[in-house]
């Protein structure tokens, strides 16, 4: 698809394309994230890019033409809490939160927009209503805002570290009873898929407490004060206790488990409108109970 912008008034790229084609702003953002949009022959990577008179916009639609996403029905979206302002859902492992250049399957954003079309007006087009994210292979709780005021308020709580974010992790070895890992992180200098401990990186703080130890594995309750990409995975690996089944950071256990055993178990935050705390605990995945039979009794 090729479009020439014929107006002398500057406008956002995503807004222009959604208004002058059959594409929604979310779909436009997906094309941009996939590197399939060019302005005057140059690939753009931001939906908010400003275009001007006589700019030539080209969209390579072939990237999506062969993708037939099978979206779950409503009863497959695990909703743990919902009201008029927000919802808390439990994401299965293996599902990406929002599309990127390497996404080849339906994302959580696709599922949410299919069930809640009005979310396309909330926040960034590529991340409608998404307050925070967890890794593809991590399961568990996520908060989704239903309007922009709620989104801004909840993001502010996360930024100010006012949200309790508690995970369950099964790791290799017998850890200490408890500990704090305070080590800055950044992108790995040689592998862009990874993160690493870097002295010049961003602050990252992880607290953990051992719940039980059996068969050479430890079940940990982990609380993160910061939310860096792969934070728990990198921090626990750095002390010699990689997460069981982590294919990216642990070669020894890359094929032992059917999935990485990291789960966003509990979220506690203040409801922006009701002015009360929402404290949600998720169900424990069956893969965790397979390793520790009495896990429900010790939590």
CA neighbor of 15 nearest in space, from 64, 54, 63, 57: 57
Note the helical H segments in the chain.
13-19, 25-33, 62-65, 108-115, 148-159, 231-238, 286-291, 295-298
Angstrom distance (rounded) from CA 208 to CA 213: 14
Q: What is the CA radius of gyration of the chain?
A: 21
Residues 6+ away with beta carbon under 8 Å from 143:
86, 87, 88, 131, 132, 154, 267, 269
Q: Please give the full DSSP string across 212-235, using - where no structure is assigned.
A: EEETTEEEEEEEESS--TTHHHHH
The DSSP symbol for 211 reads: E
In this structure, the number of other CB atoms found within 10 A of the CB of residue 277 comes to 10
- Of 14, 135, 172, 246, which one is the catalytic site residue? 135
Query: DSSP label at 243?
Result: B
Please give the backbone phi and psi of residue 189, each rounded to the nearest 5 degrees, phi first.
-65, -20
DSSP string, 31-68: HHHTT-EEETTEE---TT-EE-TT-EEEE-THHHHT--
Does the annotation count 84 as an active-site position? Answer: no
Known catalytic residues are: 135
């Amino acid at each position: 698809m090729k479009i020439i912008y014929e107006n002398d008034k500057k406008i956002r790229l995503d807004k222009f394309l959604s208004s002058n084609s059959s594409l929604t702003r979310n779909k436009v953002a997906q094309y941009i994230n996939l590197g399939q949009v060019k302005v005057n022959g140059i690939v753009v990577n931001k939906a908010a890019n400003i275009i001007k008179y006589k700019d030539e916009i080209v969209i390579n639609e072939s990237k999506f033409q062969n993708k037939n996403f099978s979206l779950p029905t409503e009863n497959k979206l695990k909703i743990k809490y919902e009201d008029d302002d927000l919802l808390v859902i439990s994401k299965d492992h293996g599902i990406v939160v929002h599309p990127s250049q390497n996404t080849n399957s339906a994302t959580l954003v696709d599922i949410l927009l299919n069930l809640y079309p009005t979310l396309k007006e909330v926040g960034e087009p590529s991340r409608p209503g998404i307050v925070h994210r967890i890794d593809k292979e991590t399961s568990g709780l996520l908060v989704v805002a239903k309007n922009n005021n709620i989104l801004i308020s909840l993001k502010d709580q996360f930024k100010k570290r006012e949200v309790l974010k508690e995970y369950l992790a099964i790791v290799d070895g017998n850890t200490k009873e408890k500990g704090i890992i305070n080590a800055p992180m950044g992108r790995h200098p040689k592998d862009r898929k990874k993160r690493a401990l870097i002295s010049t990186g961003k602050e990252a703080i992880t607290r953990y407490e051992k719940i039980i130890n059996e068969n050479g594995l430890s079940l940990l309750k982990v609380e993160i004060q910061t939310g860096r990409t792969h934070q728990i995975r990198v921090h626990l690996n750095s002390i010699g206790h990689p997460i069981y089944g982590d294919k990216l950071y642990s070669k020894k256990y890359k094929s032992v488990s059917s999935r990485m055993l990291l789960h966003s178990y509990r979220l506690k935050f203040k409801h922006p409108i009701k002015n009360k705390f929402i404290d949600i605990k998720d169900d424990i995945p069956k893969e965790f109970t397979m390793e520790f039979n009495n896990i429900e009794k010790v939590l």
